[in-house]
Amino acid sequence: MSTERLIEIFSLMARYESEHPLGLSLCSVAREITDLSGAGISITSKNGMQEQLCASNDVAQRLMDLEITLKEGPGYDASQSGTTNGVSDLMANEEQRWTFYSPEAVELGARAVFGFPIHIGAVVFGALSLYRDSTGPLSEEQSSSAYLMASVIGRAVLVMQAGVPLDAIANELQDQSTFDFSVHQASGMLSVQTKLSVKDALIMLRAHAFALDISPSELAHRIIDRGTRFDLQSGVWLETDPKNGEYEECGN
């Protein structure tokens, strides 16, 4: 992960935040950082439905509407599978992956489309959809930027849910753990263990770290390394005993 690229993303976010609502600023940054024609972001609601967070322009908006309505397209597939996908030439017969979405997307002016899952740890909760008005695959730099942007979006959504003022999201992200994504990766793992939302899992992680008098980052690495976990059945934190490798209750 390139720190310089992250700084560029956060700088763009700070610039756009002063002019646009947060959702729109995220989409505008995604479009600019990937050097594509447009970007849209969808989030999976509690009932499993896709809901639009933003779109960078009118075509991106209408493409997002298609995905949500038809349940087809790069972002929809990315949110369902948790993997990146795309079509570099929507007009090629062999690339007609989406029966209804593809011809409609072409009619709107899209020639290539790509989807990147938005996730925290193991939990996928949305997708970044990108389109271009010319054919061709993403370059290595574009693909890397899109992956990084999807990670930033995941953290931004989490920060939004935590109630941070919308014009302070970029600074909040920049200040968190010196770009350490481990806290949010661990929150995703904890969310699976506890069956809580990622937001509540993050709060739980920070509270337990405070009780142990350690940093959230240190606890996060323990969770990622399987040294610490939460047992849903007993309702207690467990930690690996270095002597026998078995989990024992962790004092707090």
What digits encode the pLDDT tens for the residues 115-165?
A: 999 987 677 889 999 999 999 999 999 999 999 899 888 877 776 665 555
Average pLDDT, rounded, for the chain: 82
In CATH, what number does 180-249 get?
1.10.10
- Per-range mean pLDDT, top range of 76-85, 90-99, 113-122, 237-246: 76-85
Q: Domain segments of the chain: what residues?
A: 3-175, 180-249
Residue 69: phi and psi, rounded to 5, are -75, -45
CA dist 199 and 195 (Å) reads 11
Closest CA to 161 of 149, 151, 169: 169
- For residue 123, the cross-strand partners are 120
CA dist 67 and 164 (Å) reads 30
pLDDT higher at 169 or 199: 199
Overall pTM > 0.75 = no
In CATH, what number does 3-175 get?
3.30.450.40
What digits encode the pLDDT tens for the residues 198-228?
A: 777 877 887 888 778 888 888 888 898 888 8
